[in-house]
Amino acid sequence: MNMRAVSKERPGLWGFFICLTIIAVISLVRVLWTQRIADHWPEVQADRVQRIQEVCNRDFDTRARGLLRNAVSIADDSTLFQNLFQTDPKSVQIAFADLRSKRHSDNITYEITDARGAILCWSGKSADSSYEDELQTARGDTIVSLSQRGLYTYLSVGLSAAHKRAYVFVSHPLVVNYPISSRFVRSTNFTDNLRSLVKTDFRLTTKPESSPEENGDYQTAVLTDFAGAPVGSVVFAKPQLDAVLQEANSEFDRWLGLFIGLATLSLGWAASLMSGRISRTWLRPLIGIVALWAVRFVWISAEFPARLVGGDLFNPSVYSSPFLLGAASSLGETLISVVFLAITVFLSFRWVYEWIQQWNRQSSSLTRASLFIRTVAVIALIIAVLWITRGFGAAIRSFVVDSTIAFHDPLTTLPSFTVFIMQVNILLLSVSFVGFTLLISLLLSKIADSFSGASRSVRLILLSGVFFFTFVVFQVLNPEPIVPWYISLFILLAGYAVANSLRNLTYDQLKERVLGWKGLTSLIVASSLLSLVVTDRQIHAKEREQVQAYAQELLQPLDTWISFVLSDGLRSIVSSYRQQPLVNGLPNDNNGNIGFLFWTKTLMSREGYNSAVVVYNDLNKEISSFSVGLSTFEQREILSKVFENEEESVVVLDRTSPLGATKSYGLWSTLRNNQGKLLGSVALLLSASEKSMFGGEENETLLSSRNTILQNVYRPTTVSIFESGRLTATTHEEFAFENDVSQSVVEKFAATKVNSIWMEEVMGGKDYESLFARDPRVPGTIVEVSLESIDYRWHIFDFLKLLSAALTALALLALVRGLISLRVQHRFALTFRTKLLVSFLILGFVPLILLGYYNKEYAAQTLNEAMKKTLIRDLDMISQRILTSVSDEEDYLKGISNDFAESVSSDLGVDFTVYHRIELQASSRPELYEASILDSRLPGNVFAEVVLMGKQFVIDDETIGSVRYAVGYKPLYLQGSFVGVLAVPAPYHQRDVEESLARRNAYYAAVYAIMIIIIMSAGWGIAQQLSIPVRELTLAAREIGKGNLDVHVDQRSRDEIGELVKSFDQMAVEIKTSRINLAAAERKLAWTEMAKQVAHEIKNPLTPMKLSIQHLRQAFKDKARDLPTIVDRTTQIIIEQIDALSRIAAEFSHYARMPEKRFERISLDETVLECVELFNKVKGIEFRVKFDDNGSQLIADKDELRRVFINIIRNSVQALDRGGTITIDSKIVGSSCRIRFMDSGEGIPANLLSKVFEPNFSTKTDGTGLGLAISQKIIQELNGTIGISSNPGKGTTVEINLPV
Amino acid sequence: MRWIAIILVLAVFGESYSQIRRDNRERLYPTLLDKESRVTDDQVQKARTLFKIIEEGIVKGNVGKFSSHFDRQIFVNSTRGESGYFSSDQATSLLQHYFGTRKVVSFEFSRLSEKGLTPYATGRLVSIYKGSLESAQVYVSCSWQSTGWVIGQFNIY
């Protein structure tokens, strides 16, 4: 077993078993827990009820204390109260401004009252008209109260201040009293918190309950103030066993899902590592792929990580497709799936390459059977590419069609989170698609290449034939292509061409090329471009579908739904009224309360329709009405039609006029009590038209809240209606009426019998694509819906947003690789070129970001200025009308009514509100104030600035629901006296800013995109220009380091870099020259040294030769008895020395080097003796020799050693020119043999002793100075040591140690 | 890689140009509205059958029973907060999600209006959601396409 492989798998296996254990434990705990809950349900229920009560109280207490803190901070501001109690308006205004500056939320109201509860200063919506009651019942310095006012129930906290001269009340809406649309109200946190906690309906009452309401399934949580006194209560349904069990199971399921996900991941990881043990290498990646997708599907079934993460990422209303058993059931699931797909592509490359290598090893003989199989394989692979292309197109189409994501939202500069994730999905899918196509094309190329036996051109022709035949057949069998045929063909051919160029690379080379920076960037950019092309087409197709559905809606509006809404609303009102206690009639209600209350019970209010409810008593007198979005004139028009029809019969009023087209509905019914007595009647009215599309200034917030089908179509849309071929209504500003519909449209409708036609046309100098649709039930009526064509700027803008996803992916990749590099190499290396490019990118983007920010600020400022001018103009216009209509204050109070306001508003096309002092006097939109959607009290800071300080113009913000808009205020003076304040809203402000910003962004983004491209190109060019010479210099320096001096770097410029290159080249030349000179000098020196050495070496044999001949001559002269022996020995020595000479000569003549060493086992003692014998006839010198008894042998070159010994003995002989003794002894010391040559000469001075081993050092006039240097070299080569010591006047000792 | 990028850039510009071209081209789409303005008895019967299928599907909490009759763009409104136009696939997922988290106790179309060009049906749905009994009103309306009735609106409120 491969222990190393096992150690790799071990963490995965351990992870799996640990997770499995945890799963078992969780399951067991779940069973025990649920059992325990079921067995002890009464106690558990009581405990839950108590917890809910505690949470309600705690939440309430926390909110109250938060409000108290605000009250304390106000109460502590003594300056504010000083100013407030002043008489001069300026000080009071400062107090108002001070109070306003402390308010950081729109939802909160600050009110300062006097000791009796009358409000002196305020900021925010009025929570109560007066706090008299609260102060009267107050038990301490702090007051906590709940009060119902209009749409909300407010929580108010009061605190005494300024030594009890004043009270500070801080209020906050706690609960929305009616279930009406979020168009009008903002949901409150208290509501959301309780709903998430209790998960059922609950009711907040402002009457404090002294004892809990125990009513079967209901329980009460009493809300108390800081002293514990009850102020209100929350009634909620008791938790039920099923609900609690389901909640507990749901929680357990979440954790189980987590650990199942982790367990499968661990097991899959271990399995893929274990596959490394399989001998068939091509099988390993396949097992990895199977393990990967097994993990994926287990995750899908365990809903991991959807259950844990949640949010928009896993919300099917953002994106959902039934593809592949839930693998794309949400945005998050799709993201996980495309990541897995990308990994699959990576593993598939490995798998295919392993298989190709297997194939390469097999024989490639081409039989008929294999030819047939290969042809079938080619066809199958071509079909695979086309099928994958189709699949890719289908996936992109699903991303667009099956989502509510606004891909091309022009109002956003940066893509939103969901758009970003979807773009990442598209990018990863595109990369996977390119990968798969390349992979299949590689296979295709490989198989095609294996058709050997024919010439290349014949092969190409045959292959092309197969390609196109298969392509055509596929297109014929694919009648509804998702991807156009030319894109499929392009992908097929391009894939094959690329694969052909990469075919001969190995897997590692391919990985290097594709996963290197260049390859990866090219891949991501190419995938982005490809995905942009395909996505754009799908978005365009979806827009057209939406327009078609919209046209259908215009022609056949949803009468049935509206009828149903009205009928259902009526039923709700009638049935709810029947539940009321018996009354004799409807009360006289001048406040519109009943009308409003009825309206809140209908689906109209929940759906947010422009609608109205009118209530009549039994004498058919109108006693109450409430409307939102319908003018009085419209109401009267519809009502007259409604009452012409029978009870409970829906009436449709269809009006088309140059100013617009409207469709209104209505019905009426009687109201009877349980005995059937007629009490009154009620009429419900509803408008389903979008007035803003047909001109007129309509408050955007009062439009129907229902999502229109064109919600995500951001192209400017124009709708026109033709009656009998003549234009009768249009939203286009420049169209003239009485224009005819295009003749070609009429002819087409007549000829083809279709009911809709798309055409492209130019209107007002702009390009449009228009849908003409007709209603066969109403001959002659044609609706035209035109979408303005988007120009290249928007395309670039959208492409930049898509590119931001790609760039983010690249940046993340760079970060990951950098971190890996940091870990592995302990350094974060960026090349010079990369640093330069990144610097240019930063320089390019930073101004873009700054410009984006200032652009927004400038756009807002510009629009604010424009809005201010418009408001001033409108205020002047309306105030003139008012002031010319009334003469004095009494007239003002009587004459300025809601009817008057509506009439003027209708004339001038501007809504407005009039205040008398600080209270509402009249409004063209009275329903908004009646329903408390808007506050009927003049805002505090407006009061301070306009009423107190007399400012002629003030702008303040107002909010309806979540929509914020600006309101302009102006004082009204009659006969020099102040009578009231006029207010005019600017409802388009927010939208105008966004639209203007979007246009600017698109315009500037296009320009900036071009600038960024230029900057990047310039940066790239400059980086290249700078880095190439640097790189070349680096390479050249390396070559020089290796010894290659013939390098040359081209001088590409005349700047500093060019100078550097020139200097470098000069340096290289100089180095080369000096090296040549040095080499020559070295050679000369070497020759000199060689000559010296040769001379020395030649001298070595000559000395013993001379000595031997001298010895022989002397022996001959002396007629020595052993002359034959001496002759023999002497001649032997001479012959040996002559051999040595001839060897030296031969070596020198052939290779100019010293003779090769001949290693042999020699006896040191004998060698020494031989050398001694050469000198023992020298007169006056006595040799004393003493060797070790054990003898010593070593492996060495005998000649070399002899040279050493001769050299040393000769030196000693030369030093004893007056005679003396030379003592030679040897001794075995450890593993070495020590030989000492001691003479009794004059010795060597100490200052010269250290130089004796230096070459060329000699004290003799005829000496070469090499003897001892060569001797030292020879001894050192034998791993020995040689040393010299001398005692001037006494002698010199040379000691040699040689290993034996 | 480089030349592929160049070719793709050309493709993008070609594609973009094709979207902003100026020449007038007419495209014909399938019939938007049927030219017949009255509803036949056969169509009425088909509408009833469809509502029956929808009713059965809702009772069993099985959206798949009637999702094949969804229009390409269908308006869905549910008590989970989703509201708007969705594709048929997305609407299927949404409603599957809705019914997947609820156990239907009872449902019946109490009001049926199968005559007219946009027949509708409405009924009360009682279900158990997180252990609590929940009541909602269901409204379904259809419209006639050339191939038959398709569901254009599905409201749960």
Query: Is the model's pLDDT at A332 over the cut of 50?
Result: yes
DSSP string, A1204-1269: HHHHHHHHHHHH-TT-EEEEEEEEEETTEEEEEEEE-S----HHHHTTTTSTT--SSTT--S-HHH
* Cα A431 to Cα A519: distance, rounded to the nearest angstrom: 12
Query: Is the model's pLDDT at B23 over the cut of 50?
Result: no
Task: Count other C-beta atoms under 10 Å from residue A154's C-beta.
Answer: 22
Whether A1059 and A1207 share a structural domain: no
Whether A125 and A182 share a structural domain: yes
Q: Which range has the worst mean pLDDT, A49-53, A717-721, A1131-1135?
A: A717-721
- Residue from B71, B130, B138, B154 to probe the interface with A (highest A Cβ count within 10 Å): B130
User: Of A691, A732, A734, A692, which is closest to residue A988 (Cα–Cα)?
Assistant: A692
Is A80 within a domain? yes
Whether A1183 and A1232 share a structural domain: yes
Whether A1141 and A1240 share a structural domain: no
Query: Is the model's pLDDT at A698 over the cut of 50?
Result: no
For residue A829, the model assigns a pLDDT of 60
Is A475 within a domain? no
For residue B24, the model assigns a pLDDT of 31
Whether A672 and A764 share a structural domain: no
Name the residue facing B32 among A247, A525, A552 (closest C-beta): A552
Q: How confident is the model at residue A81 (pLDDT cuts 50, 70, 90)?
A: very high
Contact (CB<8Å) A754/B30: yes
* Cα A570 to Cα A1203: distance, rounded to the nearest angstrom: 133
For residue A703, the model assigns a pLDDT of 30
φ, ψ dihedrals at A762, nearest 5°: -110, 125
Average pLDDT over residues A1267-1286: 90
* Cα A576 to Cα B99: distance, rounded to the nearest angstrom: 29
Contact (CB<8Å) B86/A241: no
Contact (CB<8Å) B119/A603: no
Query: Is the model's pLDDT at A460 over the cut of 90?
Result: no
Question: CB–CB of A427/A450 below 8 Å?
Answer: no
- Residues whose CB falls within 8 Å of the CB of residue B3, separated by 6 or more in sequence, listed in order: none
Q: How distant is the Cα of B118 from the closest Cα of chain A, in angstroms?
A: 7
Contact (CB<8Å) B85/A762: no
Place of tokens 């006693």: A623
For residue A748, CA distances in Å to A430, A751, A770, B27 come to 40, 5, 14, 11
The amino acid that residue A162 corresponds to is A
Which is more confidently placed, B3 or A203?
A203
Is A836 within a domain? no
pLDDT in tens, B36-60: 446 788 888 889 999 999 999 999 9
Contacts of A776 in chain B (CB under 8 A): 33-37
- Of the residues A968, A987, A1006, the one at which a domain ends: A987
Contact status of A244 with chain B (Cβ, < 8 Å): yes
For residue A23, the model assigns a pLDDT of 94
Name the residue facing A752 among B28, B85, B155 (closest C-beta): B28
Q: How confident is the model at residue A1293 (pLDDT cuts 50, 70, 90)?
A: very high
Contact (CB<8Å) A245/B137: no
Structure tokens belonging to residue A128? 């109560």
Residue of A nearest to B1 (CA): A522
Is A1053 within a domain? yes
Alpha carbons within 13 angstroms on the beta-carbon side of residue B60 total 10
The amino acid that residue B135 corresponds to is S
- Residue from A389, A514, A532, A564 to probe the interface with B (highest B Cβ count within 10 Å): A564
For residue A230, the model assigns a pLDDT of 86
* Cα A808 to Cα A958: distance, rounded to the nearest angstrom: 39
Q: How confident is the model at residue A258 (pLDDT cuts 50, 70, 90)?
A: very high
Q: What percent of chain A has pLDDT over 90?
A: 17
- Residue from A399, A515, A524, A561 to probe the interface with B (highest B Cβ count within 10 Å): A561
Q: How confident is the model at residue B154 (pLDDT cuts 50, 70, 90)?
A: very high
Give ipTM to 2 decimals. 0.80
Contacts of B119 in chain A (CB under 8 A): 560
Q: Which range has the worst mean pLDDT, A482-491, A617-626, A732-741?
A: A732-741
* CATH, residue A974: 3.30.450.20
Query: Is the model's pLDDT at A941 over the cut of 50?
Result: yes
Contact status of A777 with chain B (Cβ, < 8 Å): yes
Contact status of A536 with chain B (Cβ, < 8 Å): yes
Contacts of A748 in chain B (CB under 8 A): 26, 28
Count chain A–chain B contacts defined by CB atoms under 8 A: 198
Q: What share of chain A is helix, strand, coil (3-state, %, to 5)?
A: 55, 20, 25
Name the residue facing A320 among B90, B119, B155 (closest C-beta): B90
Contacts of A331-334 with C-beta under 8 Å, sequence gap 24+, read A331/A403, A331/A418, A331/A421, A331/A422, A331/A425, A332/A305, A332/A306, A332/A421, A333/A300, A333/A306, A334/A399, A334/A425
Question: CB–CB of A960/A934 below 8 Å?
Answer: yes
Contacts of B25 in chain A (CB under 8 A): 759-760
* Cα A617 to Cα A624: distance, rounded to the nearest angstrom: 9
Which is more confidently placed, A162 or A589?
A162
Task: Count other C-beta atoms under 10 Å from residue A217's C-beta.
Answer: 11
Contacts of A317 in chain B (CB under 8 A): 82, 84, 86, 90, 94
pLDDT in tens, A569-622: 888 888 776 655 444 555 545 455 678 888 888 888 877 778 889 988 888 888
Name the residue facing B33 among A404, A552, A795 (closest C-beta): A552
Contact status of A663 with chain B (Cβ, < 8 Å): no
- Of the residues A987, A1016, A1032, the one at which a domain ends: A987
Q: How distant is the Cα of B8 from the closest Cα of chain A, in angstroms?
A: 6
- Residue from B3, B4, B101 to probe the interface with A (highest A Cβ count within 10 Å): B4
Q: Which range has the worst mean pLDDT, A213-217, A305-309, A413-417, A721-725?
A: A213-217
Contact status of A588 with chain B (Cβ, < 8 Å): no
Mean pLDDT of chain A: 81
Contact (CB<8Å) B143/A556: yes
Sheet with A1232-1239, edge to edge strand ranges: A1181-1186, A1220-1229, A1232-1239, A1291-1299, A1281-1287
Q: How distant is the Cα of B150 from the closest Cα of chain A, in angstroms?
A: 13
Whether A668 and A755 share a structural domain: no
Q: Which range has the worst mean pLDDT, A51-65, A648-662, A693-707?
A: A693-707
Q: How distant is the Cα of A763 from the closest Cα of chain B, in angstroms?
A: 12
Q: Which range has the worst mean pLDDT, A456-465, A803-812, A883-892?
A: A803-812
Whether A129 and A162 share a structural domain: yes
Structure tokens belonging to residue A1012? 């960024």
Q: How confident is the model at residue A738 (pLDDT cuts 50, 70, 90)?
A: low
Name the residue facing A322 among B93, B116, B153 (closest C-beta): B93
Whether A1123 and A1169 share a structural domain: no
Structure tokens belonging to residue A1160? 């042999």
Q: How confident is the model at residue A260 (pLDDT cuts 50, 70, 90)?
A: very high
Run of H or E residues at A84: helix A78-84
φ, ψ dihedrals at A1063, nearest 5°: -65, -40
Query: Is the model's pLDDT at A693 over the cut of 50?
Result: no
Q: How distant is the Cα of B114 from the closest Cα of chain A, in angstroms?
A: 11
Question: CB–CB of A806/A427 below 8 Å?
Answer: yes
Contacts of A530 in chain B (CB under 8 A): 8, 11
For residue A30, the model assigns a pLDDT of 94
Name the residue facing B131 among A244, A398, A513 (closest C-beta): A244
Run of H or E residues at A42: helix A41-75
Name the residue facing B92 among A322, A404, A552 (closest C-beta): A322
Contact (CB<8Å) A321/B93: yes
* Cα A5 to Cα A11: distance, rounded to the nearest angstrom: 11
- Residues whose CB falls within 8 Å of the CB of residue A88, separated by 6 or more in sequence, listed in order: none
- Of the residues A176, A207, A239, the one at which a domain ends: A239
Name the residue facing B128 among A242, A555, A774 (closest C-beta): A242
pLDDT in tens, A966-982: 899 999 998 888 889 99
Range B33-156 has CATH code 3.40.50.300: no
Average pLDDT over residues A867-876: 88
Residue span of the structural domain in which A1126 resides = 1049-1156
Contact (CB<8Å) A558/B1: no
Place of tokens 């959601």: B129
CB < 8 Å from B in window 595-614 of A: 603, 606
* CATH, residue A601: 3.30.450
Is A32 within a domain? no
Residue of B nearest to A765 (CA): B22
Contact (CB<8Å) A247/B131: yes
Contact (CB<8Å) A753/B130: no
Query: Is the model's pLDDT at A548 over the cut of 80?
Result: yes
Whether A1151 and A1164 share a structural domain: no
Q: How confident is the model at residue A225 (pLDDT cuts 50, 70, 90)?
A: confident
CB < 8 Å from B in window 508-527 of A: 513-514, 518-519, 522-523, 525-526
Which is more confidently placed, A1063 or A755?
A1063
The amino acid that residue B120 corresponds to is Y
Run of H or E residues at A685: strand A678-687
Contacts of A561 in chain B (CB under 8 A): 120, 139, 141, 153, 155
Question: CB–CB of A426/A529 below 8 Å?
Answer: no
Structure tokens belonging to residue A282? 């091509």
Whether A1150 and A1264 share a structural domain: no
For residue A860, the model assigns a pLDDT of 73
* Cα A1122 to Cα A532: distance, rounded to the nearest angstrom: 114
* Residue B12, SS3 per DSSP: helix
Q: How confident is the model at residue A692 (pLDDT cuts 50, 70, 90)?
A: very low
Q: Which range has the worst mean pLDDT, A3-17, A55-69, A451-465, A617-631?
A: A451-465
Which is more confidently placed, A55 or A584?
A55
Run of H or E residues at A253: helix A241-274
Calculate the CA dihedral of residues A1098, A1104, A1110, A1116 and round it to 10 degrees: -130
Run of H or E residues at A624: strand A622-628
φ, ψ dihedrals at A1015, nearest 5°: -60, -45
Name the residue facing A533 among B12, B22, B34 (closest C-beta): B12
Is A204 within a domain? yes
Average pLDDT over residues A925-934: 79
Contacts of A897-901 with C-beta under 8 Å, sequence gap 24+, read A897/A922, A898/A922, A898/A923, A898/A924, A898/A926, A899/A632, A901/A926
Q: How confident is the model at residue A169 (pLDDT cuts 50, 70, 90)?
A: very high
* Cα A358 to Cα A360: distance, rounded to the nearest angstrom: 5
Query: Is the model's pLDDT at A927 over the cut of 90?
Result: no
Question: CB–CB of A710/A546 below 8 Å?
Answer: yes
Whether A1227 and A1134 share a structural domain: no
Dmax (CA) of chain B? 66
Q: How confident is the model at residue A298 (pLDDT cuts 50, 70, 90)?
A: very high
Whether A49 and A185 share a structural domain: yes
Average pLDDT over residues A621-632: 79
Is A420 within a domain? no
Which is more confidently placed, A337 or A718?
A337
Query: Is the model's pLDDT at A827 over the cut of 70?
Result: no
* Cα A1298 to Cα A1271: distance, rounded to the nearest angstrom: 13
pLDDT in tens, A272-292: 888 877 777 777 888 888 899
User: Of A300, A306, A268, which is closest to residue A287 (Cα–Cα)?
Assistant: A268
pTM metric for this prediction: 0.71
Contacts of B78 in chain A (CB under 8 A): none
Question: CB–CB of A999/A794 below 8 Å?
Answer: no
Q: How confident is the model at residue A529 (pLDDT cuts 50, 70, 90)?
A: confident
Number of domains in chain A: 6
